[in-house]
Amino acid sequence: MSSVEDPVLDALKERRSVFRFKADPVPDEKIQAILEAGRWAPSWTNTQPWKFIVVKDPDTKRKLTEAALTITGVGIGEAPVIIAVVADPKVDPYHYVEDCAAATLNMALAAHSLGLSSFWVGIFDITGGKGSSEDRVKEILGVPRNLRVISILPIGVADMIPMKSRKPLSEIVYRESFGRT
């Protein structure tokens, strides 16, 4: 347990992945703030290889739910808003996945800070294979073949917030080299 008190650390500890949302709409100002958080994520040499697609249409959300079920096992369509994080590998062919992961996390934390909840759905398929969840999401959202869908982030007011725990640092931290405590 850290003795340092900080609102950012508190937000990191309090944020949870929420799979059930209330029907309450998400105000456009909050969506804009969440997108700003994604825009300000760190990226390798500031390449910013991301594009964000905001989805509110019920039919599109239903289709995304069907495409993501093989990954999540739960529906995402009840979230009032879904943000897809799309990467352009040509902008940075070596770091676009982690750059877009950082943008996804920034948006999840921003949603939490605004009283909303989310959960991260990893869509990226390393092979980029035909028929994969990523391929289906690209088709649903009209994403060009040369771009990659890294994640989708359902966002809304939590219907319930799960309790989670973390491993103690003593189980995951080494000093100076692997295995050395």
**pLDDT, tens only, 42-62:** 999 999 999 999 999 999 999
Give me the pLDDT at residue 18, please.
86
Domain coordinates of the chain in residue numbers? 31-157
Q: What is the pLDDT of residues 119-175, one digit of tens each?
A: 999 999 888 778 888 999 999 999 999 999 999 999 999 998 888 888 999 999 999
Residues in contact with 42: Cβ distance below 8 Å, sequence separation at least 6, in sequence order: 99, 102
Of 63-72, 78-87, 111-120, 134-143, least confident by mean pLDDT is: 63-72
Task: Output the average pLDDT for the chain.
Answer: 91
Give me the pLDDT at residue 72, please.
65
% of the chain surpassing 90 pLDDT: 70
State mean pLDDT over 64-90. 86
120: how many CB neighbours lie within 10 A of its CB?
17
Helices assigned H by DSSP within 20-114 = 28-39, 58-72, 96-113
CATH class for the region spanning 31-157: alpha beta
